[in-house]
Amino acid sequence: MKLLIDTNVILDMVFKRSGCDISMELFRQVKEAGASAYITASSVTDLFYIIRKETHDTSRTYAVMENIFQLVAILSVTDKDIMDAFGQKWKDFEDCVQYMTGKNSRMDYIITGNRKDYADALLPVMTPATWIEMVKDL
């Protein structure tokens, strides 16, 4: 099972925002279920920028990113992903790039805290809590 993890799920953990416990549980369950978690290359740059901006500490940002890389693999964002997203004309282009990268990379699920951002997605979109419940029932 291959999961594309949205940036907001990672940021919940990093900044201990509401939902951080469920995001940490998500990664425990990913490991336990033998699933694979991915983020897009564009998420890497977004995460680095946001974490550095919030912490004002480049060294700490690199350390946090190294921890993230222990949890996820990185999907390349191709020109096809960009053009496919562009053609969809979603309100949030960044989310559409995430979606098209996941779709073109044959992800099974998109895991996000903001399901409404993926209203037009054909892939199953779940919150961390919903995915955890689904896996526990298998």
Q: How much is the pLDDT for 14? A: 96
Q: How much is the pLDDT for 99? A: 96
- Is the pTM here over 0.75, yes or no? yes
DSSP state of 78: P
Whether the Cβ atoms of residue 61 and residue 51 lie closer than 8 Å to each other = yes
Residues in the chain where the model's pLDDT stays below 50: none
Q: How much is the pLDDT for 136? A: 86
Close Cβ partners of 85 (under 8 Å, ≥ 6 residues apart):
93, 96, 97, 99, 100
Close Cβ partners of 47 (under 8 Å, ≥ 6 residues apart):
7, 10, 11, 14, 39, 65, 68
Position 88: which residue type? Q
Q: How much is the pLDDT for 137? A: 78
